[in-house]
Structure formats: structure tokens, C-alpha cells
């Protein structure tokens, strides 16, 4: 209660007494304040009292230092020159000695594989063990006190263990060569942006936008040239940030120790992936972070709908970033925005209908407006419209199956294409089945009978899955289709059964289901069954499984601070579900981790540069520009030379017979006239994806291009079927090699 004054200032009789005051000085009696002022005046011999010394402006200094650091990083990136793949100024050059030092301690590869597997298992189990320990401590089963308890239950230690687990399990892949043609194309585009930072004027990456390419330039701030190792480290950091924001989203609806357990399946999945399409920096990694951020921001809107302005604008901004990163992610981020808007409209009855939509558009508009202004001012607008917008619109050009059932069957087979996602889907299926069983079963007095029942159900499902996998492919395909059709029904059933419970958790279930459906559509829409598209499903599926875990716990349940006489079984509702939730992914990881050491055998070579890349370095000077005809972007990365044109993936796609596009042909010639390449490499002999036939894709087939190149370039070398053409003014005196 507010304190009342007990003294009176002279000459203030009849005035009302002060009732409340916000400051400590005002809470003291007014008469005491007068006496204090008089004493201060006497102590200073009638002189006015000196002002109190100012506090050291820590925030201002910190912000100034951050601004200076950012300015230095921007300057280093702006003045950086790309280096060849084996340059000492690459991350791989720094990491390779660590791997060779580790391998040098082993004489037999069998012992090395066994020890590496054990280290990976420890790194996978540690975060799950810390999450369970935090759960037991928070619920009073094994309360940890003192400094040791604070350290073991700290958030920093938990996320540090996640980072170490990802690093240990994925470290060998940092040192490998290109795992996918897109990886080399992205690195070549990043190298070109050091010369010309305006994306659509500088490079064209097809369906991939600038949001996926600019992060690859960040190692230059540390003086390192972008390479395969740095790209994969950036992918790992994006995964770790995605897990963090997903953890924050779970924390909006449950206790912090439950949120830690909820992200363990996604952590295990990203740690044990070994498919080549999952280990490199792909166009989906930025989308992972955007999806996680969208789920988190939408969760905050669901939790506090009255404060919708900032989060709704943030969701609009995330949709804009997704549009300029990978358009496939726009439906996912958009679904999160729609659920957040629905929550605001259903809860805040006094909100005018147009206001949330205006805030969403206010967040969405700035980035497209800035891109339009830059492209119109310095060039690139036509490339943005024709290559990026039209290209993405025409990208889903595959012929669809006539039968809907066969189309669904083919798509579900694609979902279970890789071993990693087979186990990931199996884990979600087990959690869904256990959730439905728990909803149908009457809550027992003890968790142990329920745990035994759920464990039996899980073992039966896993055994059935393994048995069907060993049967004929058609039988397994039918089982996958059945699971694909019944999983949404199970989610809807659990939403209906939880309608009378916590409405916020039900809204989060709607959010997780909507994001998952949108991600499924985003994977299905292109009708191109590339495995790396499946990464778009990783975060939404973890959101669904985490929501199932949150349903088992009551947010308002008191957390025990110490020992009590109540039995532990009465204090841990949902413990059985949590144990099943963790045991399934960890059990699958025990099998999948055996595939991780394949990256160590044979030992990655000390050099990654190809013979063609070394020849390009010999024929050209540092900082020169080249053009590669064909889909072999690796030559840009190997040689450290930048692309002279925007077509870093090669022009073989657009200049074949019957497939010529005047826009791309004219742009190719325009880029060469604006910045003539020092060297032309006809790399169709080593080109990717069946674009290696000169009779169908050779530049000689287009009269305009053939005339331009033949008049300005002369062949000077040939290596492994690839032809090297040096510019005529540079070829004088060079001779043929």
C-alpha cells in the first residue's frame, strides 16, 4: 500500500497530504526531506550542493563498439578479393590439420570408426540427458542446488551441448568437396558479389534469391574466402539459431524445461544426416531460420494478442525476406502469419478489421520497395522480373500424373526417400499414436503403467515399420500413404479433444498444423523430387511433435523448489510421454550414427582444386573474370576467379536447340560486352546433369554467340575434354599449352 506523509512543510497547513509516490525519495516524509536539504546546505557552508557524479555510459559505449565492429566488417567484406579453394585464407585450410591430427593417433581404421561413433553418441545423448536432468530438478525429483545445479541446468550449457553435438557429428563434412551442383553455384555467386554487390545486376541463381547468397560472404569479415567449409559452418549456425527460436516458441506455452525436451528430435535429426543433399549449404537453410522465427513470432502473438502490432509487422517482414531467399518458403511463413492474424481477429473484438492487415503490409512492403528502387536506379530490374519472378513462376513445369492417387503415392514415396526422413517421420508417427492413445485412455493414478503401455505401443509401431520396410516396395509404399493420410486426422482429433483445455495451446496446435501443411505443399508444388527440399519439413514437424508434448503438461502447475514428502510419481504428469518422446529419436540415432564415419574414409584429400582449376589459375591473373559454358560452377570456386556474366550455373540450359530464349542470349552478350571475360571455358565435357553434349548444348549452335566468341577468343589449351579459350589480346605470346 502507498505510504502517507508524516511531516508537514512550513506554510503548507491545510494542504492535502501526499498519498503515493513512485520514487524512493518521494516515499520518505516531506519533513525529513526538508531536514536533509538543510543538513546538506549546512555541510556545504551555504554553498549550493554539487551534482551527483554521472554514471559511466555503458550502453552508449557498447553500442558504439558494436557500430564500429559492424563498420569494420562491412569494410573488410567490401574490399575483399576471393581466393582459390586451396588458399591459406580459407576455413578448410585451418580445419584440415585438426582432422589429420585426430586421425594420426589411429593405426587401424576400424578403431577410428568405433571411437568416432562413440564420440558422436556421447555428443547426441548429452543434450537429452541435460534436458531430463533439468526436468527432474525443476519438478523436485532430483533438485540441484548451489553452483553445480545452476551450471548443469543453465541454458548456456544446454545450447552449448547442442552446438558441440552438431559440430562433432558434422565436422568431417566440412572438409569434403562439393556435394551438390547448387553449392558450387552459390559460392560462385558470392564471389561475384564481392565485385558487384547488386544481386540482380551481378548474378542470377535461378529460383534462389539474394537472401541465400549474401550470408556466404560473411567469412570475408574474418579475412577468409568463401569455400565449402565456411558455407557448411554457416549452415550449422543457421540450424542452431533455428533450434533456439523454436525453443523460444515452445517456451511461450510451457515450462522452460519442457521446451528443452521438445527440440531434441530436431537436433538429433540435423546431427545424424549423412545424405549429400542434407550436409551442404543449400537453399533451404535460410528458410529453416525464417520458419523458426515465424513460428516464434506467431507464438508470441497467440500468447499476447493485445500486443499484435510489432509481431504482425515482423511476420510481414519475414515473408518479404522469404520471398527474396526462396519462394518455396513464402507459403510456410505466410501460414504462420495467417494463424497470428486469425488469433488477433478472434480475440481482440475491438480491433478494427483493417488495422492488423495494415501492420502486416507495413512489415512486408519495405524490402520489395528497396529492391525495386535499387534495381531501377543501378540496373537489374529486367533480370528480377524475367529471371526471378517469371523463372520461379515457370519452375513447377513437370508434367503431373493423371491419377490423383498415383500422384499422392509418388509424393509419399518421395517423402520417405532418404533414411533420415524415414526415421524422422517414424518418430512423429510414434508420438502421434502415443498422443491419441493417451487422449483416449483414462489418466492413471501412476505414470508407470502408462509408460509401459506407451512403450509397448511404440515398439509395436517401430517393429511394424521395419517389417513393412523389408517387404515389397509396393507394400511399404501403401503403408507410407496410409500414414500420410491418417496423420492429419490424428492432429485434428487431438485438437478437438483439447478444445476444453488451454486455448493458447490449441492455437499453437493450429499454428503447427498450418505450418506443416504449408511446408508439405511447398515441397510438393515444384513436382521436382530433390531430397534437399525435404529440409523445409524439419522445423514444422518438430513444432507438431513439440505441441504434442506440451499438451501433457499444465503451464500453471507449481514447480517444486526442494524436497517434499509427495511421491515423485504424483509430481511428474506426462513423464511417460517425455521418455517416449526422447527415446525414439535417440534410438534411431544409434543406428544412423554408424553411417557418419563414411565421411572419414578415405581421408579427405589435402587439396580440393581440380586440374582444370589449377590450369585456369595459370592462364589468368588474380582478380580476372572468366565464363564457363556448361553447368560446372566448381571451376569458379577452384580457381578463385569471378564470373564475367550473371549465369554462374552455365548457359547450357537456355541455349540448346529449340530452347533458346532471346532474353538470356541478349543478357549473356550484354554482360560480356560490359565486362569482357579473360578466359572462356567450354566445360561441357564435365558438365552436370546430362548437359554435356556439344551437339545439343554447344555455344556454336547459336550464331550470334558463336560469332562473338570466335572473333574475340582463341583456344589455348584442352584438359580432360574441357576447352580453354583466352581473349585474343591476352593470348599474344602465350601460345598453346
Listing DSSP states for 58-83 in one string gives: HHHHHHHHHHHHHHHHHHHHHT----
Task: Please report the pLDDT score of residue 264 as a whole number.
Answer: 94
- The 10s digit of each residue's pLDDT in 653-663 is 555 554 567 88
Mean pLDDT of the chain: 83
Q: What is the pLDDT of residue 715?
A: 92
Q: Where are the domains of the chain?
A: 1-52, 91-598, 611-731
- pLDDT confidence tier of residue 599, bands split at 50, 70 and 90: low
CA distances from residue 385 to 201, 393, 530, 549, 653 in whole angstroms, order as listed? 12, 11, 25, 45, 19
pLDDT value at 672 more than 70: yes
Across 559-574, average pLDDT: 40
Give the CA angle between residues 285, 85, 623 to the nearest 5°.
105
Percent of the chain with pLDDT over 90: 43
Lowest mean pLDDT among 139-143, 223-227, 320-324: 139-143
- Region 547-553: mean pLDDT is 85
pLDDT over 70 percentage in the chain:
84
Mean per-residue pLDDT, 297-313: 93
The predicted pLDDT at position 734 comes to: 56
Closest CA relative to residue 529, chosen from 429, 428, 412, 631: 412
Closest to 26 in 3D by CA, of 17, 15, 14, 38: 17
> pLDDT band for position 126 (50/70/90)?
very high
* Other beta carbons within 10 Å of 392: 19
Q: Does position 49 have pLDDT exceeding 60, yes or no?
A: no
| Band (333; pLDDT cuts 50, 70, 90) | very high
Bridge partners of 326?
208
pLDDT at 591: 84
Least confident of 60-69, 106-115, 433-442, 597-606: 597-606
pLDDT at position 285 over 90 = yes
pLDDT at position 563: 31
Q: Is the pLDDT of residue 385 over 60?
A: yes
What is the model's pLDDT at position 20? Answer: 44
Q: What is the mean pLDDT of residues 283-301?
A: 96
**Rounded mean pLDDT, 218-244:** 95
Question: 400 falls in which pLDDT band (50, 70, 90)?
Answer: low
**Strand order from edge to edge, sheet including 713-719:** 642-643, 625-629, 679-682, 722-727, 713-719
Each residue of 194-218: pLDDT tens digit? 999 999 999 999 889 999 999 999 9
Q: What is the mean pLDDT of residues 719-733?
A: 86
Q: Would the pLDDT of 220 be above 90? A: yes
Residue 594 has pLDDT above 90, yes or no: no
Residue 735 has pLDDT above 70, yes or no: no
pLDDT at 28: 43
Average pLDDT, integer, range 122-136: 91
Averaged pLDDT, 449-471: 82
Q: What is the pLDDT of residue 11?
A: 42
**CA 635 to CA 613: how far, in whole Å?**
5
Please answer whether residues 446 and 569 qualify as being in contact, where contact means their C-beta atoms are separated by less than 8 angstroms.
Answer: yes
Q: Which residue has the higher pLDDT, 408 or 156?
A: 156
- Give the helix/strand (H/E) hosting 162: helix 155-170
pLDDT at residue 22, as a whole number: 43
Strands 722-727 and 679-682: antiparallel
Residue whose C-alpha cell reads 503451464 in the numeric block: 555
Is 617's pLDDT higher than 80?
yes
Which of 343-347, 568-572, 659-663, 677-681 comes out lowest in average pLDDT? 568-572
H helices present in 533-574, as ranges: 538-550
CA dihedral 603, 609, 611, 612 (to 10 degrees): 150
- The pLDDT of 258-275, averaged and rounded, is 93
Sign of the torsion angle spanned by Cα atoms 143, 148, 154, 160 = negative
* pLDDT tens digits for range 470-485: 777 777 777 777 888 8
Between 666 and 162, the higher pLDDT residue: 162
C-alpha cell at 697: 548444348
Using only C-alpha atoms, the chain has a radius of gyration, in whole angstroms, of: 31
pLDDT reading at 561 higher than 60: no
Amino acid at each position: 500500500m502507498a505510504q502517507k506523509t508524516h511531516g508537514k512543510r512550513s506554510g503548507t497547513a491545510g494542504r492535502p497530504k501526499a498519498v503515493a509516490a513512485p520514487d524512493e525519495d518521494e516515499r520518505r516524509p516531506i519533513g525529513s526531506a526538508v531536514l536533509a536539504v538543510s543538513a546538506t546546505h549546512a555541510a556545504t557552508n551555504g554553498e549550493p550542493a554539487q551534482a551527483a557524479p554521472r554514471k559511466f555510459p555503458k550502453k552508449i559505449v557498447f553500442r558504439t563498439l558494436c557500430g564500429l565492429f559492424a563498420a569494420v566488417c562491412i569494410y573488410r567484406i567490401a574490399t575483399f578479393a576471393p581466393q582459390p579453394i586451396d588458399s591459406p585464407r580459407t576455413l578448410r585450410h585451418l580445419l584440415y590439420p585438426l582432422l589429420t591430427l585426430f586421425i594420426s593417433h589411429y593405426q587401424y581404421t576400424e578403431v577410428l570408426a568405433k571411437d568416432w561413433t562413440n564420440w558422436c553418441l556421447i555428443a547426441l545423448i548429452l543434450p537429452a540427458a541435460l534436458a531430463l536432468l533439468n526436468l527432474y530438478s525443476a519438478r523436485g525429483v532430483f533438485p540441484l542446488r548451489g553452483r553445480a545445479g545452476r551450471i548443469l541446468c543453465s541454458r548456456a550449457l544446454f545450447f552449448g551441448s547442442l552446438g558441440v553435438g552438431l559440430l562433432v557429428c558434422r565436422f568431417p563434412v566440412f572438409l569434403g568437396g562439393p556435394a551438390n551442383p547448387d553449392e558450387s553455384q552459390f559460392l560462385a555467386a558470392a564471389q561475384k558479389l564481392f565485385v558487384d554487390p547488386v544481386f540482380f545486376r551481378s548474378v542470377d541463381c535461378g529460383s534462389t534469391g539474394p537472401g541465400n547468397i549474401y550470408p556466404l560472404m560473411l567469412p570475408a569479415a574474418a579475412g577468409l574466402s568463401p569455400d565449402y567449409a565456411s558455407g557448411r559452418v554457416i549452415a550449422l549456425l543457421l540450424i542452431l539459431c533455428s533450434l533456439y527460436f523454436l525453443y523460444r516458441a515452445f517456451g511461450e506455452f510451457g515450462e522452460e524445461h519442457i521446451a528443452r525436451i521438445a527440440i531434441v528430435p530436431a537436433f538429433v535429426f540435423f546431427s545424424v544426416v549423412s545424405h549429400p543433399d542434407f550436409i551442404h549449404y543449400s537453399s533451404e537453410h535460410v528458410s529453416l531460420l525464417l520458419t523458426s522465427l515465424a513460428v516464434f513470432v506467431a507464438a508470441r502473438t497467440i500468447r499476447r494478442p493485445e500486443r499484435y502490432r510489432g509481431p504482425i509487422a515482423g511476420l510481414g517482414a519475414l515473408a518479404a525476406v522469404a520471398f527474396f531467399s526462396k519462394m518455396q518458403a513464402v507459403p510456410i511463413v505466410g501460414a504462420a502469419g495467417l494463424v497470428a492474424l486469425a488469433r488477433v481477429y478472434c480475440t481482440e473484438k475491438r480491433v478494427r478489421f483493417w488495422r492488423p492487415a495494415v501492420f502486416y503490409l507495413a512489415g512486408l512492403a519495405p524490402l520489395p520497395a528497396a529492391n525495386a528502387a535499387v534495381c531501377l536506379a543501378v540496373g537489374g530490374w529486367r533480370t528480377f522480373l524475367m529471371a526471378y519472378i517469371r523463372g520461379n513462376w515457370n519452375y513447377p513445369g513437370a508434367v503431373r500424373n493423371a491419377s490423383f492417387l498415383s500422384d499422392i503415392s509418388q509424393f509419399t514415396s518421395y517423402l520417405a526417400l532418404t533414411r533420415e526422413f524415414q526415421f524422422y517421420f517414424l518418430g512423429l508417427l510414434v508420438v502421434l499414436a502415443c498422443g491419441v492413445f493417451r487422449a483416449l485412455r483414462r489418466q492413471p493414478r501412476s505414470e508407470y503403467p502408462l509408460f509401459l503401455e506407451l512403450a509397448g505401443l511404440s515398439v509395436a509401431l517401430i517393429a511394424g515399420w521395419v517389417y513393412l520396410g523389408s517387404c515389397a516396395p509396393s507394400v511399404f509404399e501403401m503403408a507410407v500413404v496410409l500414414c500420410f493420410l491418417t496423420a492429419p486426422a490424428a492432429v485434428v482429433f487431438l485438437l478437438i479433444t483439447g478444445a476444453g483445455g488451454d486455448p493458447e495451446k490449441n492455437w499453437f496446435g493450429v499454428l503447427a498444423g498450418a505450418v506443416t501443411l504449408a511446408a508439405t505443399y511447398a515441397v510438393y508444388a515444384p513436382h521436382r523430387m530433390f531430397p534437399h527440399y525435404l529440409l523445409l519439413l524439419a522445423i514444422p514437424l518438430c513444432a507438431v511433435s513439440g505441441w504434442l508434448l506440451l499438451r501433457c503438461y499444465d503451464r500453471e502447475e507449481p514447480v517444486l523448489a526442494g524436497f517434499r514428502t509427495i511421491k515423485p510419481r504424483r509430481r511428474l504428469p506426462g513423464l511417460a510421454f517425455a521418455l517416449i518422446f526422447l527415446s525414439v529419436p535417440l534410438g534411431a540415432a544409434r543406428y544412423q550414427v554408424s553411417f557418419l564415419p563414411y565421411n572419414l574414409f578415405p581421408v579427405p584429400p589435402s587439396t580440393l582444386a581440380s586440374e582444370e582449376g589449377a590450369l585456369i589459375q595459370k592462364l589468368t591473373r588474380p582478380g580476372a573474370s572468366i565464363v564457363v559454358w556448361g553447368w560446372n560452377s566448381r571451376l569458379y570456386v577452384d580457381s578463385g576467379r569471378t564470373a564475367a556474366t550473371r549465369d554462374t550455373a552455365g548457359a547450357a540450359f537456355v541455349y540448346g536447340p529449340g530452347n533458346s530464349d532471346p532474353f538470356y542470349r541478349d543478357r549473356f552478350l550484354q554482360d560480356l560486352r560490359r565486362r569482357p571475360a579473360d578466359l572462356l571455358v567450354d566445360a561441357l565435357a564435365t558438365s552436370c546433369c546430362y548437359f554435356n553434349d556439344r551437339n545439343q548444348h554447344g555455344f556454336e549452335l547459336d550464331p550470334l554467340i558463336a560469332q562473338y566468341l570466335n572473333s574475340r577468343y582463341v583456344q589455348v589449351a584442352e584438359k580432360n575434354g574441357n576447352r580453354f579459350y583466352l581473349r585474343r589480346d591476352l593470348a599474344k605470346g602465350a601460345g598453346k599449352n
